Amino acid sequence: MTVEIDPAGIWDSEAIADVAAATFPLACPPGATQDDIAAFIDDVLSAERFSEYLTDPNRTVLKVTHGGAIVGYAMLVDGEPADADVSRAVTLRPTTEISKLYVLPGNHGTGVASALMDAIVERAEAAGCAGLWLGVNQENVRAQRFYAKHGFTKVGTKTFLVGTQLHHDFVMQRAL
Q: How many residues does the chain have?
A: 176
Confidence at 29, pLDDT banded by 50, 70, 90: confident
Question: So what's the pLDDT on residue 107?
Answer: 80
Reference 159, options 169, 149, 148, 172; nearest CA is 169
Please name every residue paired with 5 in a beta bridge, in sequence order, or none if there are none: 64
Average pLDDT for the chain = 95
Residue of 73, 71, 68 lying closest to 8 (CA atoms):
73
Residues paired with 4 in a beta bridge: 65
pLDDT tens-digit series, residues 92-120: 999 999 999 999 998 887 789 999 999 99
pLDDT at 77: 98
- pTM value is 0.95
Please give the torsion angle defined by the CA atoms of residues 172, 103, 11 and 100, in that order, rounded to the nearest 10 degrees. Answer: -20
Instruction: Please state the domain extents for the chain.
Output: 4-130
CA R_g for the chain: 15
Where do the DSSP E strands lie in the chain?
A: 4-7, 59-66, 69-78, 95-103, 131-137, 153-162, 165-175
Please tell me what DSSP assigns to residue 106. Answer: G
Q: Class of the 4-130 domain?
A: alpha beta
pLDDT tier at 30 (50, 70, 90 boundaries)? confident
Looking at this protein, which amino acid is placed at residue 12?
A: D
Query: Which of 67-71, 129-133, 157-161 ranks highest by mean pLDDT?
Result: 129-133
